[in-house]
């Protein structure tokens, strides 16, 4: 099954990859300079709004059982909040795939080429002047005729073009910073729903819903606002870099407060607490057994949690010492649970219900503050998204723009999009306290994590990667300032040379008019300049 999912994602990636580099390059080429940042911000905002609906669709599918239509839901003993619940993940692919195919239809009606807008031409020159400048020997290199694309020629020029692009120290530094930042971002976003589930006891559907309705809209608003700020204050390339760095640094400091918004581990007998209620237990498989369940012949491989009246979760009804049950399905209640009674209490008919016990009230009170800080930090960090793209576009030569954006997209997906979820997941798995077991043997999914260790590793890795990227920003600013000075010097030199060339041609034209009227000169065309 995973092979089909892999091939599908590969095809999807091939189809969507050209949209961003070519689209952003087109906007920067054809839009007015002061409006380009706003337009790119709008494009980035729209591209982020899509995941909002994706997370909402995921939330809906997560509430539906994976085998809907084949299983009697009344007989299920688990709920969407249970770690063993598997939502209808396949339904999202069918819906999203159909919408993707429908959205591709309008592309067939787009023109093959688009004309240069009138506002990109120099309005101070008449068409005759433009034609004259193109005919000038000193200016013809700027107006080379367009040639059809040749695959052999493109392959031949690939290595020199790549060498020229990677020879730009500003671009290479920006690329390295982006890769590190994307590792932090992708790892954080990938496991944030699981973090909400495990840390605050929320269901998978609610975690996806919160991501789609709260976090991602804040990111979209931040991207759009960043474009508005660039347009309003007319930020140059250096101003854009400072703005992006400042917002990222402020978001970093805000994220440090997440460490203080922690919850204690769930009380699970034999895993995080002893059967007598003592916390700080170092989990071992043998610790699942106690005198109260020694005669029950329970399996330590099972994970069928029940919540006792004492507020402690037990791995299974058997390990809770329960000897009878009433009801059916998710409404089953187990009775005569010998392990539920705590020391120094009278042994009575104590019961246990299906599912884990809810988190403490203190954890529920912290959760809204976590969401508020998450929204604020996401908005502030995303403010630098559009200025960052403008920095990427403006630090390279115009003819390398599409190629540079393509390499940037390839590098971030290859060195961040692929490895980040893998090593983030591997590190998070080290905090697992109780693993499930597959029916055919082998280790299954993690049933319960050490939330304190999860928080420390998850947040520490996310913020550690951001810290590493900040150290690269300092040499990046020095290289950028040097790049700007060189560009200004180059522009002044070229401007003086072209002005001197035009003056010589004008003097030559006057000379033709006075002394050689019958020559091949065409003074009428030349003197119009």
CATH number, domain of 388, equals 1.20.1250.20
Among candidates 476, 402, 494, which has minimal Cα distance to 161? 402
- Verify that 51 and 178 share a domain, yes or no: yes
Phi (first) and psi of residue 354, to 5 degrees: -65, 145
Domain boundary among 336, 358, 380: 358
Which residues touch 274 (CB under 8 Å, ≥6 apart)? 281, 287, 290
Q: What is the DSSP letter of 437?
A: E
Residue 317 sits in the same domain as residue 199: no
What would the DSSP string read from start to end of 178-245? HHHHHHHHHHHHHHHHHHHHHHH---HHHHHHHIIIIIHHHHHHHHHHHHHHHHHHT--HHHHHHHHH
- Of 246-255, 375-384, 501-510, give the lowest mean pLDDT range: 501-510
What is the reported pLDDT for 280? 66
More confident residue, 74 or 162: 162
User: Where is the domain boundary, 330, 358, 386?
Assistant: 358
On whether both 183 and 44 belong to a single domain, the answer is: yes
- For residues 100 and 191, membership in a common domain is answered with yes
Helices (H), 292-436: 361-382, 385-394, 401-412, 419-429
- Region 230-253: what's the mean pLDDT? 90
pLDDT at 130 over 50: no
Indicate whether 131 pLDDT > 50.
no
Do 384 and 475 lie in a common domain?
yes
Please, which pLDDT band fits residue 174 given cuts at 50, 70 and 90?
very high
> Does 154 fall in a domain?
no
Length of the chain counted residue by residue:
529
The pLDDT, as a whole number, for residue 125 is 47
Question: Is 528 or 57 the better-scoring residue by pLDDT?
Answer: 57
Average confidence (pLDDT) over 210-235: 85
Q: Same structural domain for residues 95 and 221?
A: yes
Residue 122 belongs to some domain of the structure: no
If asked whether residues 249 and 379 sit together in one domain, one would say: yes
d(CA 489, CA 466) in angstroms, rounded, equals 34
At which residue do the structure tokens 């809810």 appear? 358
Mean pLDDT over 3-26 rounds to 75
pLDDT higher than 70, residue 518: no
Q: What is the pTM of this model?
A: 0.74
Confirm whether 141 is domain-assigned: no
Query: Do residues 9 and 102 both lie within one domain?
Result: yes
Distance of alpha carbon 343 from alpha carbon 498, whole angstroms: 94
Q: What share of the chain is helix, strand, coil (3-state, %, to 5)?
A: 65, 5, 30
Instruction: Tell me what pLDDT residue 376 has.
Output: 94
Q: Which of 479, 494, 510 is the last residue of a domain?
A: 479
pLDDT of 510 strictly over 60: no
Q: Checking DSSP bridges between strand 443-449 and strand 324-326, what pairing results, if any?
A: unpaired
Joined together, the tokens standing for residue 66 give 């994976």
Rounded to the nearest integer, the mean pLDDT of the chain is: 78
What confidence score (pLDDT) does residue 454 get?
92
Each residue of 59-95: pLDDT tens digit?
788 878 888 777 777 777 777 766 677 788 888 888 8
CA–CA separation, 167 and 483 (whole Å): 12
Asked if residue 18 has pLDDT above 60, the reply is yes
Whole domain around residue 275: which residue ranges?
Answer: 267-358
Same domain, 241 and 271: no
Per-residue pLDDT at 369: 92
DSSP symbol at 342:
P
Spatial separation of the C-alpha atoms in residues 189 and 51, rounded to whole Å = 12
pLDDT at 529: 33
Residue of higher predicted confidence among 331 and 257: 257
**The predicted structure's pLDDT at residue 159:** 85
pLDDT at 464: 95
Residue 248 has pLDDT above 50, yes or no: yes
The 10s digit of each residue's pLDDT in 450-481 is 888 999 999 999 999 999 999 999 899 999 98
Does one domain contain both 222 and 293? no
For the chain, the domain total comes to 3
Comparing 115 with 228, the larger pLDDT belongs to: 228
Task: For residue 445, give both structure tokens.
Answer: 């999914």
441 shares a domain with 407: yes
Tell whether the model's pLDDT for residue 232 goes beyond 50. Answer: yes
Indicate if the pLDDT at residue 516 is higher than 50.
no
Yes or no: say if 53 and 232 are a contact pair by the CB < 8 Å rule: no
Q: Does the pLDDT of residue 117 top 50, yes or no?
A: yes
More confident residue, 412 or 51: 412
| Top-confidence residue, 169 or 142 | 169
- Give domain status of residue 26, yes or no: yes
Per-residue model confidence as pLDDT tens digits over 86-110: 788 888 888 888 888 888 788 788 7
Distance of CA 21 to the CA centre of its chain: 17
| DSSP SS3 for 39 | helix
| Structural contact between residues 409 and 21, judged by C-beta atoms closer than 8 angstroms | yes
Q: Per the domain annotation, does 135 fall within a domain?
A: no
Q: How far apart are CA 438 and CA 266, in angstroms?
A: 24
pLDDT for position 436: 80
Would residue 128 count as lying in a domain?
A: no
User: How far is the first Cα of the chain from the last one, in angstroms, to the nearest whole number?
Assistant: 69
357, 311 Cβ separation under 8 angstroms: yes
- Does residue 212 or residue 175 have the better pLDDT? 175
> Would you say residue 450 lies in a domain?
yes
Residue 145 lies in a domain: no
Q: Are residues 302 and 434 in the same domain?
A: no
| Residue 371 and residue 258 in contact, taking contact as beta carbons nearer than 8 Å | no
Q: Which comes out higher in pLDDT, residue 178 or 292?
A: 178
Q: Say what the pLDDT of residue 27 is.
A: 74
């Amino acid at each position: 099954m995973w092979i089909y999912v892999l091939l599908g994602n590969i095809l999807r990636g091939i189809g969507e990859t050209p949209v961003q580099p070519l689209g952003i390059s087109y906007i920067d080429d054809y839009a007015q300079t002061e409006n380009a940042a706003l337009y790119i911000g709008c494009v980035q905002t729209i591209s982020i709004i899509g995941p909002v609906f994706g997370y909402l669709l995921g939330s809906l599918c997560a509430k539906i059982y994976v085998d809907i239509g084949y299983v009697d839901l009344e007989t299920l003993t688990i709920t969407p909040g249970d770690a063993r619940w598997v939502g209808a993940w396949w339904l999202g692919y069918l819906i999203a795939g159909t919408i993707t195919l429908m959205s591709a239809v309008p592309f067939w009606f787009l023109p093959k080429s688009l004309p240069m807008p009138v506002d990109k031409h120099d309005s101070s020159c008449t068409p005759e002047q433009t034609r004259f400048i193109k005919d000038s020997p000193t200016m013809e290199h700027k107006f080379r005729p367009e040639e059809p694309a040749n695959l052999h020629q493109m392959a031949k020029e690939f290595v020199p073009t790549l060498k020229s692009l990677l020879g730009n120290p500003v671009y290479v530094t920006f690329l390295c910073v982006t890769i590190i930042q994307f590792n932090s971002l992708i790892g954080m976003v990938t496991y944030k729903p699981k973090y909400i589930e495990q840390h605050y006891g929320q269901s998978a559907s609610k975690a996806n819903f919160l991501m789609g309705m709260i976090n991602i809209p804040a990111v979209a608003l931040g991207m759009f606002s960043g474009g508005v700020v660039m347009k309003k204050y007319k930020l140059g390339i250096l101003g854009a870099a400072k703005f992006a760095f400042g917002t990222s640094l402020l978001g970093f400091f805000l994220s440090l407060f997440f460490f203080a918004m922690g919850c204690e581990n769930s009380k699970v007998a034999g895993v995080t607490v002893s059967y007598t209620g003592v916390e700080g237990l170092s989990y071992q498989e043998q610790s699942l057994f106690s005198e109260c369940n020694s005669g029950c012949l329970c399996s330590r491989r099972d994970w069928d949690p029940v919540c006792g009246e004492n507020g402690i979760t037990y791995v299974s009804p058997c390990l809770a010492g329960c000897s009878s049950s009433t009801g059916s399905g998710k409404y089953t209640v187990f009775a005569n649970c010998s392990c539920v009674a705590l020391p120094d209490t009278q042994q009575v008919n104590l019961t246990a219900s299906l599912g884990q016990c809810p988190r403490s009230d203190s954890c529920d009170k912290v959760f809204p503050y976590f969401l508020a800080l998450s929204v604020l930090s996401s908005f502030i960090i995303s403010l630098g998204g559009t200025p960052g793209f403008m920095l990427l576009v403006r630090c390279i030569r115009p003819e390398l723009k599409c190629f540079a954006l393509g390499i940037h997209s390839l590098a971030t997906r290859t060195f961040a999009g692929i490895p980040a979820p893998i090593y983030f997941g591997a590190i998070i798995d080290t905090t697992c306290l109780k693993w499930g077991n597959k029916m055919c043997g082998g280790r299954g999914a993690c049933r319960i994590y050490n939330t304190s260790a999860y928080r420390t590793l998850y947040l520490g890795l996310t913020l550690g990667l951001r810290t590493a990227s900040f150290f690269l920003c300092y040499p990046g600013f020095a290289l950028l300032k040097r790049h700007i000075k060189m560009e200004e010097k180059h522009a002044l030199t070229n401007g003086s040379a072209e002005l001197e060339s035009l003056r010589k041609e004008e003097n030559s034209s006057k000379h033709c008019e006075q002394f050689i009227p019958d020559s091949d000169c065409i003074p009428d065309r030349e003197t119009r300049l």
